[in-house]
Chain A
Amino acid sequence: MTGGGPLTGPALTTGMGAGGDSPSQPAPASGAMVTPTTGVVTGTFWRRFTLRRPLAALIIQRLGLSVGLLFAVSLMIFGGVEALPGDFATTYLGQSATPQAVENIRKDLGLDKPLTERYLNWLGGAVKGDFGTSWASKNSVSEQIGKRLGNSLFLAFFAALISVPLAVALGMLAVQYRNRLPDKIINVISLAAISLPEFFVGYLLILFFAVQLGVATFPATVYDSMGFGERLSAIALPVATLVLVVLAHMMRMTRAAILNVMSSAYVETAELKGLSAFRIIAKHAAPNAVAPVINVIALNLAYLVVGVVVVEVVFVYPGMGQYMVDAVTVRDMPVVQACGLIFAAFYIFLNMAADILAILANPRLRHPR
Chain B
Amino acid sequence: MPDLLSVKNLKIEATSYPPGEPPKTVTLVENVSFDVQKGKVLGLIGESGAGKSTIGLSALAYGRGGAAITGGQVLLNGKDILTLGRDGVRTIRGCKVCYVAQSAAAAFNPAHKLGDQVIEAALRHKIMSRPEAEKRALYLFKVLGLPNPETFGDRYPHQVSGGQLQRAMTAMALCPNPELIVFDEPTTALDVTTQIDVLAAIKHAIEETHTAALYITHDLAVVAQISDDIMVLRHGKTVEYGTTKQIIEAPNQDYTRALVSVRQTKREEARDQSNTLLNIEHVSAGYANGFKVLHDVSMHLPKGQTLAIVGESGSGKSTLARVITGLLPPQEGKITFDGKELPRALSGRTKDELRRVQMIYQMADTAMNPRQTVRDIIGRPISFYYGLHGAKKTERVRQLLDQIEMGDRFLDRYPAELSGGQKQRVAIARALAAKPELILCDEPTSALDPLVAEGILNLLMKLQEETAVSYVFITHDIAIVRAIADSVAVMHRGKLVRFGPKSKVLSPPFDDYTDLLLKSVPEMELGWLEKVLTTRRMESAGN
Contacts and interface: CB of A to CB of B under 8 A. Distances in A.
Interface of A: 1-12, 14-15, 18, 28-29, 34, 264-266, 268-276, 279, 283-284, 287-288, 363-364, 367, 369
A283 B111 CA distance: 9
B55 interface: yes
Given A14-B19, A364-B110, A3 B55 contact: yes
Given A2-B52, A2-B64, 18 more contacts: A3-B236, A4-B28, A4-B54, A4-B57, A5-B53, A7-B16, A11-B65, A12-B65, A14-B19, A264-B106, A269-B109, A273-B98, A273-B124, A275-B124, A283-B112, A288-B111, A363-B158, A367-B158
Interface in B14-55: 14-19, 26, 28-29, 48-55
The CB with the most chain B CB atoms within 10 A, among A2, A284, A369, is that of: A2
Nearest to A35: B289
B346 interface: no
Contact of A369 (B28, B108, B158): B158
A269 B158 contact: no
A11 B124 contact: no
Contact of B93 (A14, A265, A272): A272
A156 B111 CA distance: 33
B134 interface: no
A296 B500 CA distance: 58
A2 B183 CA distance: 12
Contacts of A279: 124
B185 A1 contact: yes
B184 A10 contact: no
Contacts of B26: 7
A7 B110 contact: no
Given A1-B48, A7-B67, A364-B158, A266 B107 contact: yes
Task: Give the 3 A-B CB pairs with smallest separation, nearest first.
Answer: A273-B94, A274-B93, A11-B66
Contacts of A287: 109, 111-112
Contacts of A8: 64-65
A1 B67 contact: no
A15 B106 contact: no
9 contacts: A1-B53, A4-B14, A4-B67, A7-B16, A7-B28, A10-B16, A268-B101, A272-B94, A287-B111
- For chain B, which range describes its interface: under 10, 10 to 19, 20 to 34, or 35 or more residues? 35 or more
B156 interface: yes
Given A29-B110, A275-B124, A2 B91 contact: no
A363 B108 CA distance: 13
B18 A10 contact: yes
B125 interface: yes
Contacts of B60: 272
Contacts of A274: 89-95, 121, 124-125
Contacts of A18: 19
A275 B94 contact: yes
Main secondary structure of the interface of B (DSSP, over half): loop
Contacts of B92: 274
A37 to B, nearest CB: 11
A266 B158 CA distance: 14
A276 B94 CA distance: 12
B108 A3 contact: no
A88 to B, nearest CB: 52
B532 to A, nearest CB: 25
A280 to B, nearest CB: 10
Interface string B204-239: 000000000000001000000000000000001000
A4 B69 CA distance: 12
B17 A1 contact: no
A302 to B, nearest CB: 27
B54 A3 contact: yes
Contacts of A28: 110
B69 to A, nearest CB: 11
A361 to B, nearest CB: 8
The CB with the most chain B CB atoms within 10 A, among A6, A10, A369, is that of: A10
A278 to B, nearest CB: 12
Contacts of A265: 101, 103, 106-107
B65 A269 contact: no
Nearest to B16: A10
B337 interface: no
A10 B66 contact: yes
B159 A369 contact: yes
B158 A29 contact: yes
A364 B53 CA distance: 30
Nearest to A4: B64
A2 B102 contact: yes
B129 interface: no
B345 to A, nearest CB: 24
Contact of A15 (B17, B63, B125): B17
A271 B99 CA distance: 10
A286 to B, nearest CB: 9
Contacts of A271: 62, 93
